[in-house]
Amino acid sequence: MTLTATRFDWVRQLVHRESAIVLAPGKEYLVEARLLPVARKMGLTDVDQLVDQVRTRPRPDDTRQIVEALTTNETSWFRDGDPFTALTSTVLPALQSARGPAERLQIWSAACSSGQEPYTIAMLLEDAMPHAATRVSITATDLSREMVERTRAGRFTQLEVNRGLPAPMLVRHFQRAGSEWEVSPTLRRMVGARECNLAAPLPRMGPFDVVYLRNVLIYFDLPTKQAILRRVRELMRPDGWLFLGAAETTLGVDDSWSRVVVGRTSVYRPLKGA
Amino acid sequence: MSDLSDAGLRRRAGDLPPATAELVDEATVCEITEQAWLALVGEDEVLVPLPAPLPAETLSSWVEIVGPWTGAVVLTCGRDTALDLTRALLGEHAPQEVEQEDVDDALGELANVVGGNVKAVLPGPSVLGLPEVGTTPPSGREADSVRVAVLWRGSPLTVRVQSVLAERENEVPL
Amino acid sequence: MTVRALVIDDSRAMRRIVSGTLEGFGYETRQAGHGQEALDVLHEGWVPDLCTIDWNMPVMDGLQFVNAVRANPAWRPVTLMMVTSESEHGQIVRALAAGAHEYVIKPFTADAIRDKLALLGLLPQEVSL
């Protein structure tokens, strides 16, 4: 049984709007396979019912589940590549020349999921600067306690380390732990994980030099987006750098940021006096 | 728990390999098998950890591991299940007619994938053999094995990690 | 631009799966059942952009194949990606030291192959899922 063209099209537009990912025609079976567990979890029997329900009564939580199931974003290392290239090519050198040698760099991975993003950042910095472990601290936050605990544990399944993690980095920074892989103690010491709801007042953290806030804003309405960006900005250094998801921008949402194009990605910086 | 004390005695007695259950537990074998199924057979292909009797006509595939621990990882299921597994594994890449050779090959490859990952959990270095397929799996030490029984699409399937009797001529009598 | 891949695995099911996945990404593929058969394909003049290589195979295993390819300067542009159930830390180190560029552990999903190809700059099409 396959999805009707109308329903597939609705899913396609939703995913494109919220993640900038293009679902090619002919991927109906994939949509079925990925969304069936979501439908079942919601007590529905099939994907048709799921699509119809979310289409008539959209709730951000359901929408997010659909997009996440289809984009498998949480499981990939170096997701989208460019924001990480920009970190080592441009952001890090700029920060190193602006900060004293004794100043600790503070980086925030907001919505860290199971930990791939904060550990990707940790690996890059460990490889790019001497003694990174004592000069950088990475704060990883997520709404879900389960994800925070997974990040803290730093353990990944075989299937997870297969997803976009370059093999040389795997052998350099991980060891086998039973059937799983565990990040090195050095990297684990660089990353601190805690629960945090971005849509509520934020805990006292930072100030951050770099913030990765990717694929979060898309799930919220305009006023919430604006509130999140304002709160994030309050926790950033005035010359800090903000990375958003490929489908996200501050343009038209919050005009207190300037956009800087670095390579194939955009980075946002607080506007002075804004 | 007799396995554990037995292993302890044997280890004091000489350089004999420790009991299999001390090196790899059921949960790990189960997890390895499940990951192989989810990735290769299909993302909805969950394995239900429920033991059920195997049918009379079964097919097994196995790979040998030779190293500090020597034995085999054996996958066994009914012949019909093996055919269904082959179709599911090949999915859209399946040929028009699935032949017995395809079934042997697919079941062998699943044993290779599970076996390779089991080997990584066991003490090394060790060598993984090429998969073999047949109705009679190699005999091993039943007492020294880890056995996982699951249902896939309602059909029983077992994975055994069993050490071989091998030439334990140096074994010190207990 | 056509991207070519030689899929080397002794399991024909695995060859079909890997080839099918790569073809879905726009690759032209050929298959070999072991390292020697793969070398024959290269000697014949069909030099691919990518080889996916199983480790344990009869006649010539994947590591021997990697060594053989790396010994021939004419084949330097070929990207070598292990796709194998050998999954110890030390085995991955050995394969990389021998000259393999990437390493995919079986079991893998099509997504895992796509992610690795993207890292290697060998994803010819704009593929999304």
Residue C7: pLDDT over 60: yes
Over residues A66-88, the mean pLDDT reads 78
**Residues in C touching B119 (Cβ below 8 Å):** 86-88
* pLDDT, average across residues A212-233: 90
Confirm whether B97 is domain-assigned: yes
Cβ density class A204-220: b for 16+ within 10 Å, e for less:
eebebbbbbbbbbbbbb
Give the mean model confidence (pLDDT) for residues C25-30. 95
Mutation for testing the A interface, residue in B31, B118, B126 having most A CBs under 10 Å: B31
CATH second-level architecture of A82-270?
3-Layer(aba) Sandwich (3.40)
Q: Identify the residue with better confidence: A147 or A135.
A: A135
Is B66 in CB contact (< 8 Å) with chain C?
A: no
pLDDT at residue number B40: 93
Arithmetic mean of pLDDT, A163-173: 95
Q: Is B168 contained in some domain? A: no
Q: For A14-61, write each residue's pLDDT tens digit.
A: 887 776 667 777 777 778 878 888 898 889 988 999 999 999 988 877
**Is cis: bond before B53, omega within 30 of 0?**
no
The answer to whether residues A271 and A258 touch, using CB atoms and an 8 Å cutoff, is yes
Compute the nearest-CA separation of A202 from chain C (Å). 34
B28 vs A36, A37, A179: nearest CB: A179
Query: Is there a contact between B112 and C56 if contact means CB atoms under 8 Å apart?
Result: yes
Is C85–B39 a contact, with Cβ atoms under 8 angstroms apart? no
| Domain boundaries defined on chain A | 5-71, 82-270
Structural domains of chain B, count: 1
Q: Is A25 helix (H, G, I), strand (E, B) or coil?
A: coil
pLDDT value of residue B7: 43
A178 touches chain C (CB under 8 A): no
Predicted local confidence at residue A71, as pLDDT: 66
User: How much is the average pLDDT of A122-143?
Assistant: 93
Predicted pLDDT at A1: 52
Query: In which residue ranges of chain B is pLDDT below 50?
Result: 1-14, 167-174
Nearest to C103 by CA among C72, C59, C71, C62: C62
Q: What is the residue-averaged pLDDT of chain A? A: 89
Q: Is A200 exposed, middle or buried (0-12, 13-18, 19+ CB in 10 A)?
A: exposed
Residue C123 has pLDDT above 70, yes or no: yes
pLDDT over 80 (residue A75): no
Q: How confident is the model at residue C106 (pLDDT cuts 50, 70, 90)?
A: very high
| C-alpha–C-alpha distance, residues C110 and B36, integer Å | 13
**Which of A159, A171, A181, A183 is the best substitution to test chain C (most C C-beta atoms within 10 A)?**
A171
Strand ranges inside chain C, DSSP E:
3-8, 27-32, 50-53, 79-84, 102-105
Contacts of A33 in chain B (CB under 8 A): 42-44
Which structural domain, as residue segments, surrounds residue C62? 3-120
CA distances from A161 to A78, A180, A193, C66 (A): 11, 9, 20, 23
What is residue C127's predicted lDDT score, i.e. its pLDDT?
Answer: 47
B149: CATH? 3.40.1550.10
Domains held by chain C: number? 1
Question: By the 8 A CB rule, do B134 and B72 touch?
Answer: no
Q: Which residues contact A103 (CB under 8 A, 6 or more apart)?
A: none
Is residue B170 assigned to a domain?
no
**Interface contacts (A, B; CB < 8 Å):** 25
Cross-chain residue pair C85–B128, CB shorter than 8 Å: yes
With 50 as the cut, is the pLDDT of residue A96 above it? yes
Q: What is the pLDDT of residue B174?
A: 44
Contacts of B120 in chain C (CB under 8 A): 86-88
Domain A5-71 belongs to what topology? Answer: Chemotaxis Receptor Methyltransferase Cher; domain 1 (1.10.155)
* A27-54 burial: b if 16+ Cβ within 10 Å, else e: bbeebbebbbebbeeeebeebbebbeeb
Cα distance between residue A68 and residue A111, in whole Å: 13
Q: What is the pTM of this model?
A: 0.83
Residue C41, domain CATH: 3.40.50.2300
Q: Which of A193-202, B34-43, B136-145, C45-54 has the highest mean pLDDT?
A: C45-54
Contact C107 A158 (CB under 8 A): yes
pLDDT at B168: 45
- Select from A21, A163, A167 the Cβ nearest to the Cβ of C128: A21
Structure confidence at residue B46 (pLDDT): 80
Q: What is the DSSP letter of B171?
A: P
Residue B75: beta bridge partners? B61, B159
Average pLDDT in chain C: 94
Question: What pLDDT score was predicted for residue A111?
Answer: 87
Given a contact as 3+ CB pairs under 8 Å, which chains touch B?
A, C
In this complex, which of A24, A77, A170 lies closest to C92 when CB atoms are compared?
Answer: A170
Least confident of A79-88, B161-170, C63-72: B161-170
Q: Is C85 on the interface with B (CB under 8 A)?
A: yes
CB pairs under 8 A between B and C: 74
So what's the pLDDT on residue B165? 60
> Which residue range forms the structural domain that includes residue B75?
23-163
